[in-house]
Structure 1
Amino acid sequence: MKPLDSSTLALLDLRCPRCHQGPLFSYPAYKLTKYAMMPERCPVCSVAYEPEPGFYWGAMFVSYAFSVAWFAIGGVAAYYLLGNPAVWVYVLLVTVLVLLTAPATLRYSRAIMLYLFGGIKYDPNLRQLATAPPQPSRSKSHAHL
């Protein structure tokens, strides 16, 4: 996977904050039983994705901000597109909107938490990990016998 120079693009693509190459999540978001699973370390640069135990508890606050944003967007959209409907329509619309975006909200909340508060800085020198050709193994082989 080609590394991205921009940390913003790497965050949006849910890649490792250190090398901008490794994926932050083990499975795609549409696998609803596994969408929150993260590898323990980056498969490319081996940086730990959980800097300390309980690190992602702080992602709840980021997730809350996303939910408030969806609440505001849903409320404004209902008001202007549906002509100020009954309260139950607002509640139903916002509930459906928040539930449909829950996998993405969780993933981006964790990614933002890791990028902003994880203490991991981008290292452009790790670019060679993806572009360097594999080195021949120096293990002892009995093929020449």
Structure 2
Amino acid sequence: MSKKSAIGAILGAKCPQCRTGRLFPVSPFSFKKISAINSTCPHCQANLNPEPDFYYGAMYISYAFSVALVITALTAINILIEEPELWMYLSTVLVGNLLLFPAMLRYSKVLYLYGLGKLKYRGD
């Protein structure tokens, strides 16, 4: 078998060990279990919860995503609009955070698992 790309597995939210099984039990557009993650990989049975409360550290990555979104939105408004008003900044940041919240939450958990989960790729 060919080696699967780590970037493709991260973008697809796949298991770090087999890069095939899904990390999340529901689609990204489902708000029922927005923060739920599978306890084991459905493909290779790898433990996706290495320790209790493991994913609390992912909030730092989510915070970084949020700060990057705020900086990008404020810079774009300053470049595109000559004299922006306060409500423009606030509404843009609020709407951007609301729309991107599910993606930021999911990918913060994916990056945290890939970075600190101690699961190495096994190209079985």
User: Shorter-chain TM-score category?
Assistant: over 0.9
Higher relative contact order (CA 8 A, sep 6+): 2
Alpha-carbon distance in structure 1 between the residues aligned to 2:106 and 2:83: 32
What do you get for the CA RMSD once the two structures are aligned?
A: 1.6
Alpha-carbon distance in structure 2 between the residues aligned to 1:117 and 1:78: 36
Distance 1:105 1:43, change over 3 A: same
Alpha-carbon distance in structure 1 between the residues aligned to 2:47 and 2:30: 23
Q: Does the residue aligned with 1:101 lie in a helix, a strand or coil? A: helix
Q: What is the TM-score of this pair, normalised by structure 2? A: 0.94
Equivalent residue, structure 1, for 2:117: 118
1:36, distance to aligned residue in structure 2 (A) = 2.1
Alpha-carbon distance in structure 1 between the residues aligned to 2:14 and 2:68: 24
Return 5+ residue gaps in structure 2 as ranges: none
What percent of counterpart residues are identical?
39
Return 5+ residue gaps in structure 1 as ranges: 126-145
Q: What is the TM-score of this pair, normalised by structure 1? A: 0.81
Equivalent residue, structure 1, for 2:34: 35
The reply to whether residue 76 of structure 1 matches residue 75 of structure 2 is yes
Equivalent residue, structure 1, for 2:46: 47
Larger radius of gyration: 1
